[in-house]
Amino acid sequence: MKTILDKRQLHLTILRLAHQLLEDHLHLNEVVFIGLQPRGVQISKSIVESISNLCPDEKVQYGVLDITFYRDDVRNELRIANKTDITFSIEGKIVILIDDVLYTGRTIRAALDAIQDFGRPKKVELCVLVDRRFNRELPIQPDYWGKAIDTAFSQKVKVEWDREEVVLY
């Protein structure tokens, strides 16, 4: 076990990601933030909370998306669905998908399929806390990332929210 981000680094990384998103998107009325169930919800809430604190007069549109039945591996194992909560239109908006760890890219591919049920966005961007750069199975890359690391397929990266750290197993 190796700590990739300790508590202080994790909080600074979340704040940096919030600043980067605001730097690129000055008008939040054109942007929606969507956390991916289940593991992307905590990081997305933290980033959106930071953005709301930095821009208290702006309305931040935030939702969560369950991609369980859009996954291409759903037949291989039983999955329990999570809740999707998107109460706004994404039509013509810039959608920022937020997840904890980008690994093979399959979760993001499923998310891209799933958001089509909610309309046609103007643009989709990806924000992740950890990018496992060289383990991709699909040509998907993040627009924003907190930490990029090189790992073996046998290793696992886990965000331990109870201990507030990111760990490599």
* Per-residue pLDDT at 131: 97
Model pLDDT, residue 56: 95
Q: What is the pLDDT of residue 82?
A: 80
Residue 131 to residues 42, 55, 85, 103, 134, Cα–Cα distance (Å):
17, 27, 25, 7, 9
Give the per-residue pLDDT at 70.
83
Specify the length of the chain in residues. Answer: 169
Q: Is the dihedral of CA 153, 5, 18, 158 positive or negative?
A: positive
The residues, any chain, with a CB within 8 Å of residue 25's CB and separated by 6 or more, are 31, 94, 96
Cα–Cα separations (whole angstroms), residue 145 to 29, 86, 127, 149, 160:
23, 23, 6, 10, 18
CB atoms within 10 A of CB 130: 26
pLDDT given for residue 73 in this prediction: 66
What are the backbone dihedrals phi and psi of residue 157, each rounded to the nearest 5 degrees, phi first? -115, 125
Residue 104 pLDDT: 94
User: What is 61-105 written as a DSSP string?
Assistant: EEEEE--GGG-TTTTTS-------B--S--TTSEEEEEEEEESSS
- How would residue 117 be classed by pLDDT, with cut points 50, 70 and 90? very high
- What's the pLDDT score for residue 156? 95
In order of start, what are the domains of the chain with their CATH numbers? 2-168 (3.40.50.2020)
Rg (C-alpha) for the chain, rounded Å, is 15
**16-69 confidence digits (pLDDT tens):** 999 999 999 988 999 999 999 989 999 999 999 999 999 999 999 999 999 988
> Residue 153 has what pLDDT?
87
pLDDT value of residue 92 = 97
Summarize pLDDT for 118-167 with one digit per residue, the tens. 999 999 999 999 999 988 999 999 999 999 999 988 999 999 999 999 99
pLDDT of residue 72: 74
